[in-house]
Structure 1
Amino acid sequence: MNPLARTHRIASTAAALLALAATGVALPGTARSQPISCPAVTVTTVATATIPFADWAENLGFDAQGNLWVARLYRNVVQRLDSAGRVTATVPVASPGAIRLGPDHLLYVVYGDNSLNFLPGAHDSGVVRFDPTADAPVPETFVNGLTMANGAAFDPEGNLYIADTGKGVVRVRPDGTVDTQWSAQAELFGVNGLAVQGDSVYTTVYLTPQGKLLRIPIAAPARRTTVMDTLLADDLTPGPDGYLYTATSSGTLLRTNPGTHASCPLLTADPLSAVAPVPDSDRDLVLATGRGDVLRVHLDPQPA
């Protein structure tokens, strides 16, 4: 989400929700579909912000060794955290967004997640990558020339999909070149989070009156469809259980069945900016918050 809009967005969320409720519009976290049964959750804190909101956690991801990395948007760094939430490494990245593990075991980090890039001639956004096992990781540019890169995900063939808020979904080949033909069919303003599951790319559209979760078939990107309307939807991830998990800026974590489009809220907390599955766990997620805290969510077993 763009930095210039964040302060206003946080301050105005409550008033916006009251107005929407009065007009009968679905509130954040409410899918326009039949609900599904959600498990109870247990939430613990992995790391606490040193300075709330200045430590905004924009995104997060894990390296091949299972270490957690967090994008600190306003501090222009990504940080590696240990199991106690202590910072054990810091890598400079300008306005970092999504952090994704590549098939080469390098970490790929979106940069330029900043609305200033909408100004003419100011396009300084793309993806850098670095070796997370290095003593002093040095990021190198993998792709540039985007408008405002935000979410990202790899497919099984090693193609990287980027949610560029100003352009749409951009597909980058393993050699770093942009697949312009594919990307031209996925042009869409306002995209934010992105995930790949099966034969589809899923992306959230934030900058619309309703907000949407969209499915884009990889084989036919022009044939996108709406999975559900979700106000203030930010980042998302596929879980090992086949569900999609969406973090919303209203503070709701949604669980969605991508086949039936049924959805339910798992929890409500501070503004949520990103969600990722914990490696080697089929019941745990980590959440990044606008306040800067990082949370761990355990999905309790559902009764038989």
Structure 2
Amino acid sequence: MFVKRHRSRVRWARPVLAALAVTCLSGAPTASADPVAGCAPAVATPVLPAQVPILDWSENVTFDADGNLWVARLYRNAVQRYDRTGALTATVPVEFPGALRLGPDGLLYVVYGDAPTSAIRPGGVVRFDPRVAQPRPEVFVDGLASMPNGAAFGPDGALYIAATNAGVIKVRADGTIDAEWTARAAGSGGGSGANGIVIRDRTIYLTANGSALGQVVGIAIDAPERRAVLADLTTGVAGIPDFADDLLIDDAGILYVTTLSGKLVRVDPSGGAVCTVLTGQPMTSVVAVPGQRDELFVGTEVGTVLNVRLAR
């Protein structure tokens, strides 16, 4: 599954090792100045190079059930499937694609309209079968004039969409919007500048860049009016706020957040401890490599996809 240490089974085109190490830092008001477990520098290896930098911008990345990698190419208005050798096997037209998420029904759900033009040309979500040779997208929900970006399925089967200009939008399994829940979430103030989103134990973890940049926010699914700022990210230069993009949560409940300044940041939501484990080019998205402990795939603005090995 795109894993470097099984080189006999995986043939990426000459990945060039790029060890990108940084020192730990404290970025949240409650964080300790001492290094915390898991803050050792990570190592990144390019596994899918950009053919045309920026045009190949990899807005989001995910794996399907067969171990294929899917990449949302924002400026190519397409999502692309790559097999385990790194070969391109399908291109699906999607206008300004954002998050890619495998649904409980086995279909791949793709946010579209991830651009400021969504106010004029509304976005939404399409879905398709990722297993067929040439997937054909169908609209699951539309009319989102709020720059939809991130997405995550909740334990209730609903799809929660992070929209830059609306906050978190709850979409039921039948494709209808839960307007009451969505209004409650917006009323908490947790929706400003919403970007990436993950869900665990009925808690939504959200990156937000509204009135304050670089916040990681927690919202309770059962009480969306409840909101807490879990961490504030900075660039490390005079405490300048960073732009927080995508995030994931691991089995231990630790968050990994990508940022515009080119950082992969580790956040312990239980206490707010923050440290940077990787620096490099601006990072847009992050996904865990299936079946591989401590390995991630990270998308970038240049378009290169990186394999990141965490040090534990």
Range into which the TM-score falls when normalised by the shorter chain: 0.7 to 0.9
CA contact under 8 A between 1:29 and 1:254: conserved in structure 2?
Answer: no
Paired position in structure 1 for 2:196: 193
Q: Once the two structures are superposed, what CA deviation does each residue of 1:85-113 show, in whole Å capped at 9, x if it has no partner?
A: 33111111000000000000100000000
Where do 1:36-51 residues align within 5 Å? 36-37=36-37, 38-51=39-52
Q: Tell me the SS of whatever aligns to 2:176.
A: coil
Determine if the alignment matches structure 1 residue 184 to structure 2 residue 183.
Answer: yes
Residue 209 of structure 1, CA deviation: 4.0
Task: Tell me: CA distance 1:255–1:285, structure 2 relative to 1, closer, same or farther (3 Å).
Answer: same
Q: Contact 1:76/1:93 (CA < 8 Å) preserved in 2?
A: yes
Tell me by how many angstroms 1:271 deviates: 0.3
Distance (whole Å) between structure 1 residues aligned to residue 100 and residue 26 of structure 2:
24
Partner of 1:263: 274
**1:296 aligned to which of 283, 307, 310:** 307
Correspondence list, 1:99-114, <5 A = 99-114=100-115
What does residue 168 of structure 1 align with?
167
CA contact (8 A) 1:31 1:264 kept: no
Verify: 1:63 aligned to 2:67, yes or no.
Answer: no
Structure 1 residue 40: Cα displacement: 3.2
1:27-60, CA deviations, whole angstroms, 9 ceiling, x for partnerless residues?
Answer: x983333242313322111100011111110001
- Is 2:216 aligned against 1:213? yes
Instruction: Provide the rounded CA distance (Å) in 1 between the counterparts of 2:44 and 2:106.
Output: 29
Measure, in 2, the Cα distance between the counterparts of 1:258 and 1:30: 13
Question: Structure 1 residue 282 and structure 2 residue 293: aligned?
Answer: yes
Moved beyond 6 Å, runs of 4+ = none
**Partner Cα distance (1:80, 1:110) in 2:** 16
Q: What residue ranges of structure 2 are gaps of 5+ in the alignment?
A: 1-24, 234-241
- How do 1:69-218 and structure 2 match up within 5 A? 69-118=70-119, 122-146=120-144, 147-187=146-186, 188-218=191-221
User: In structure 1, what is the equivalent of residue 31 of structure 2?
Assistant: 34
Please point out which of 216, 232, 235 is paired with 1:229.
232
Structure-1 separation of matches of 2:167 and 2:104: 24
Partner of 2:239: none
Report the count of equivalent residues.
271
Partners of 2:92 and 2:138 in 1: CA distance: 11
The one-letter code matched in structure 2 to 1:173 is R
Classify 1:225/1:209 alpha carbon distance in 2 versus 1 (closer, same or farther; 3 Å).
closer
The 8 Å contact of residues 197 and 207 in structure 2, kept in 1 or not, is answered as yes
Structure 2 distance, partners of 1:160, 1:262, is 29
Same amino acid, percent of matched pairs: 48
Whether the aligned pair in 2 keeps the contact of 1:112 and 1:125 (CA below 8 Å) is yes
Gap regions ≥5 residues in structure 1: 1-27
Residue type matched to 1:168 in 2? G
Q: Are the equivalent residues in 2 in contact too, given 1:241–1:282 (CA < 8 A)?
A: no
Correspondence for 1:251 among 258, 262, 268: 262
Root mean square deviation of aligned Cα:
1.5
1:29–1:191 distance in 2 versus 1, CA, 3 Å: farther
